[in-house]
Structure 1
Amino acid sequence: MGCLGAILKHPGDFYPLMKLKMVASNAEKQIPPQPHWAFCYSMLHKVSRSFALVIQQLGTELRDAVCIFYLVLRALDTVEDDTSICTDVKVPILKAFHQHVYDKEWHFPCGTKEYKVLMDQFHHVSMAFLELGKRYQEAIEDITKKMGEGMAKFVCKEVETVDDYDEYCHYVAGLVGLGLSKLFHASGDEDLAPDSLSNSMGLFLQKTNIIRDYLEDINEIPKSRMFWPRQVWSKYINKLEDLKYEENSEEAVQCLNDMVTNALTHVEDCLTYMSALKDPSIFRFCAIPQIMAIGTLALCYNNIEVFRGVVKMRRGLTAKVIHRTRTMADVYGAFYDFSCMLKSKVHKNDPNATKTLSRIEATQKACKDAGLQNKRKSYILPSEPRYSFVPVIVLLIILAILLAHLFDGALWDHKQSHRDCVDADVRTEELYFYVCS
């Protein structure tokens, strides 16, 4: 009933969810036949379903390069994330990872679940990498080398200051932004973006993830992972892990709001970067994650649940973002909407209220100056009809009866009633699982 309740509460989500399901199904059918490429694209869908969807919409050559770039960095990140690997083993692997991508025999057992599979069978990724164009290989190698060195540095160093925080995020995400800009340029579809703007694209996403994932990181076994800078959290608490305790709720929320305010410093750079993109598929590839980030920050701000469990955008809203994001006007509209949500949650007694409001107003001004379409659908305002429970249930029953009659007619004509009924049940279960997952 949780899934049905969500759809009843947000009936406008149903169509985007259905469309997302169809797009996902089509993307999964586009997996190449060659074993190493089949592994790469299958793994891409396992480690990041939403990211896989936007990658699949890129042109073939660029799509392959971005797929491998993502998997190489995901593997590198898996080594960094595995707290069971001792430092003496981890650091040399991180520093040499850019060389391992050329070795079709190399693999390293670490990680869990699908990440373990990726690391155990990394030779498939190496084989695919070696089939990319030289300009793509050089861009991937360069960024992997710099990221590995940066990660190795922070294995032995804690994030103390805000400058440390920016440096760490540069190594693990800003460089991803620089690498993607290089790949876009290598494809011939885009001009090479300034490094500062590419860096901000990565930092905005990474800082959002660090904020959202506080509880998961602090509870990591066998050792906590701490990325919030001491310079920020020490203003509110004695130890970073104390933020998760109920008695420190007020201080935790104030610290959280401070972190969100820091992340908002990158918004204007991100808008400038996206406004310069020319290729529609590259634009969507970049824009959808950025909208998801501002939406996630709006949900996290002033929300104690960040320290209690998982805070993320509902699946229906994610589907709407993917469905609606086509032009820069859509991006400005989304950023304006979510900045309005943020603004409504700012309390005047918050220690950073003035700074936070200044960041939000700068975002809103950038969106207004660019021009907003008055007739667009809002992400946060009530732009969809509210249905009562009973009419929606009646509608679902009617649809079920109509579908049953259609299936019955087809079954009678083909005299295969049992087999087709089973297939229909399977399709229904698959759809329910996808929408609820």
Structure 2
Amino acid sequence: MGAIYYLFHPNQLRSIIQWKVWHDPVHRRDPSTESTELQECFRLLNLTSRSFAAVIQELNHELLVPITLFYLVLRGLDTIEDDMTLPIEKKVPLLRNFHKTMQEDGWQFHESKEKDRELLEKFDLVVTELKKIKEPYFKIIEDMTDKMGNGMADYVQNTEMIENGVQTIKEYELYCHYVAGLVGEGLTRLFVASELANPKLLERPSLTESMGQFLQKTNIIRDIHEDWVDGRRWYPKEIWSKHADKWEDLFEPSKRGKAVECVSEMVLDALKHSEECLFYMAGIRDQSVFNFVAIPQTMAIATLELVFRNPAVLDRNVKITKGDACQIMLESTQNLATVCEVFRKYARKIQKKNDPRDPSYLAISQQCARIEQFIETLFPRQDPNKLTTENKQKQNDQPTMDPGEAVVLFGVVIVSLLAISGIMIGTAWFFGARFDNIFKEFGTLLPGGEGSKPLITGHDEL
């Protein structure tokens, strides 16, 4: 089936081959220098992460291990939160105390039924490696784990939200903050502590927050069908209630049009973070770190374009094709300018799919225009028409020539022409030119000259 697909989609196959052949990691992990415990941590990373494992292992060696362990700690925390078989009275203390648990030698957890339970069963390996990293990095991981664990515990205990779903956009964004915004904060602190990012990023927490919000909101929008099947409801009622009387109505085929409009408004809400995401990436100093933060963001805007005005998202979990993913990664691992072009491309695709009948039509059009306008401020394009206009304006702004200068210039030109002509005639005379014959021949062409008299010939036939 795959071979047939690529036969009819050769561009997809080309992108995959280009990524496999031409992608050269900035840094390569060297397993020969790692302890057995650390090698097992990387195996757990590959086991629990489909999206981040590859880019994490291409990070600058200064951050390779700290970010790997940070991911595994948060994945362990997330596994506990997602496990619906654990009673609340057991789950809440685990979440709130996980920042302490991650320091207990030999700690393991064997009561989870989640797919990533092996990580918890072998968590003692993570604890061992955490104690080997630099103290500043460990403190950052500990602090973020404390904040995230308490935030998750608050939501686990929020029975109203569990039963009725997220109600307001404010609640929705607070949830995204705890599960993604705090991750972004921790990563930014690690980037700055390792001197691989501009310290000014810490003074603009809204930039870091937008990075996390953009990713988490995209995941929630895409996973609407999967979450509905599992009994979860992350779309805020403040948005979906504009398009349906009941949450279940969004999945009725007869009301598919309204459901698509609901997804459109959710996409609009996510797109508002685009400009700050691009601004954040401008503060990254290291290429491997830039790749690490850029790839998820470009994948996110491509995913938003995929789900926008796409009714299939309500029936199944739609994903970017492997070929498109490889093409996006190729374009995202160069520099900010190419990343901006990816954002511009998908913003235009969203604008092209936008339907005037959609209640969010105007707002989406304006947001797509804002994205393009922001990119234009970062990397202005050279429009030929604009350049021509500017050149004309420059010419018009130049002072006109003074009349006296014009007379002098005209005189210089005439004198130069006469001098050149005199030199040419003198040279010709010196080499034997017969000007008298020339004047004589010229005279025959004038009226009254010899050449002007008619020549009468006889008519012998008369």
Give the TM-score range, shorter chain.
0.7 to 0.9
Change (3 A) 1:76 1:278: same
**Structure-2 residue corresponding to 1:257:** 264
Q: Aligned-pair distance for 1:61?
A: 2.4
Q: Is 2:72 the partner of 1:71?
A: yes
Q: Which amino acid aligns with 1:183?
A: L
How many Å separate the matches in 2 of 1:155 and 1:336?
39
**Structure-2 residue corresponding to 1:112:** 114
**Residues 31, 39 of structure 2: 8 Å contact kept:** no
How many Å separate the matches in 2 of 1:365 and 1:301?
21
Classify the secondary structure of the residue corresponding to 2:197: coil
Change (3 A) 1:58 1:88: same
**Residues 148, 179 of structure 2: 8 Å contact kept:** yes
- Residues 75-154 of structure 1 mapped to structure 2, 5 A cutoff: 75-108=76-109, 109-113=111-115, 115-154=116-155
**Residues 203, 266 of structure 1: 8 Å contact kept:** yes
**Structure-2 residue corresponding to 1:383:** none
Corresponding residue to 2:233 among 226, 233, 243: 226
Q: Aligned-pair distance for 1:215?
A: 1.2
**Residues 331, 342 of structure 2: 8 Å contact kept:** no
Q: Which amino acid aligns with 2:291?
A: R
Q: Which amino acid aligns with 1:225?
A: R
**Residues 143, 176 of structure 1: 8 Å contact kept:** yes
How many Å separate the matches in 1 of 2:32 and 2:270?
36
How many Å separate the matches in 2 of 1:28 and 1:279?
16
Q: Aligned-pair distance for 1:49?
A: 3.6
Change (3 A) 1:345 1:112: same
How many Å separate the matches in 2 of 1:51 and 1:309?
23
**Residues 288, 321 of structure 1: 8 Å contact kept:** yes
**Residues 94, 152 of structure 1: 8 Å contact kept:** yes
Q: Aligned-pair distance for 1:84?
A: 2.0
Change (3 A) 1:96 1:205: same
Higher relative contact order (CA 8 A, sep 6+): 1
**Residues 110, 116 of structure 1: 8 Å contact kept:** yes
Q: Which amino acid aligns with 2:131?
A: L
Corresponding residue to 1:236 among 228, 231, 243: 243
Q: Is 2:71 the partner of 1:61?
A: no
Change (3 A) 1:185 1:111: farther
Bigger Cα displacement from structure 2, 194-203 vs 288-297: 194-203
**Structure-2 residue corresponding to 1:203:** 213
- Residues 275-354 of structure 1 mapped to structure 2, 5 A cutoff: 275-325=282-332, 326-354=334-362
- Residues 3-82 of structure 1 mapped to structure 2, 5 A cutoff: 3-18=2-17, 20-21=19-20, 30=31, 33-82=34-83
- Residues 387-426 of structure 1 mapped to structure 2, 5 A cutoff: none
How many Å separate the matches in 2 of 1:110 and 1:258?
36
Q: Which amino acid aligns with 1:116?
A: R
**Structure-1 residue corresponding to 2:223:** 213
**Structure-1 residue corresponding to 2:169:** 162
Classify the secondary structure of the residue corresponding to 1:37: helix
How many Å separate the matches in 2 of 1:347 and 1:317?
24
User: Is there any run of 5+ residues in structure 2 with no aligned partner, and where?
Assistant: 383-462
Classify the secondary structure of the residue corresponding to 1:210: helix
Change (3 A) 1:111 1:267: farther
Q: Aligned-pair distance for 1:195?
A: 1.2
Bigger Cα displacement from structure 2, 123-132 vs 293-302: 123-132
Bigger Cα displacement from structure 2, 104-113 vs 65-74: 104-113
Residue by residue, what CA displacement relative to the aligned partner does 1:236-295 show, whole Å, maximum 9, x if unpaired? 223323322212211211111111110011111101101121111111110010000000
**Residues 81, 91 of structure 2: 8 Å contact kept:** yes
Change (3 A) 1:191 1:27: closer
Residue by residue, what CA displacement relative to the aligned partner does 1:125-152 show, whole Å, maximum 9, x if unpaired? 1111111111111111111111111111
How many Å separate the matches in 2 of 1:31 and 1:226?
45
Q: Aligned-pair distance for 1:15?
A: 4.3
How many Å separate the matches in 2 of 1:11 and 1:28?
32
Residue by residue, what CA displacement relative to the aligned partner does 1:38-62 show, whole Å, maximum 9, x if unpaired? 1111111122244111112211120
Q: Aligned-pair distance for 1:30?
A: 4.1
Classify the secondary structure of the residue corresponding to 1:169: helix
**Structure-2 residue corresponding to 1:357:** 365
Q: RMSD of aligned C-alpha atoms?
A: 2.1
Q: Which amino acid aligns with 1:107?
A: Q
User: Is there any run of 5+ residues in structure 1 with no aligned partner, and where?
Assistant: 375-437
Which of the pair has more CA radius of gyration? 2
TM-score when normalising by structure 2: 0.76
Change (3 A) 1:143 1:198: same
**Residues 104, 123 of structure 1: 8 Å contact kept:** yes
Classify the secondary structure of the residue corresponding to 2:52: helix
TM-score when normalising by structure 1: 0.80
Classify the secondary structure of the residue corresponding to 2:84: coil
